[in-house]
Amino acid sequence: MVTALPLSIFYAYLEVTKSTSNAINYLAQKLLSYSYDCKGKLDSITLPRG
């Protein structure tokens, strides 16, 4: 019983860490794709003029 408690806490911590890193990765990807889209639009606007 004593060894089962730290294991469950450890697994819960792993799950939280995994979901947190997934959320961070997801947000980072969204942010990167958004900034890339903005950059692409800016490039397409400024390229013909230049």
Query: What distance in Å separates the CA atoms of residue 47 and residue 50, rounded to the nearest whole number?
Result: 5
What was the pLDDT predicted at 43?
67
Q: Determine the length of the chain.
A: 50
Which stretches in the chain have pLDDT values below 70? 1-4, 42-50
* H or E stretch at 39: helix 4-49
Confirm whether pTM is higher than 0.75: no
Say which amino acid occupies 23.
A
pLDDT at 45: 61
Q: What is the pLDDT of residue 18?
A: 92
Cβ within 8 Å of residue 49, ≥6 positions away: none
pLDDT at 2: 58
Q: What is the DSSP letter of 3?
A: T
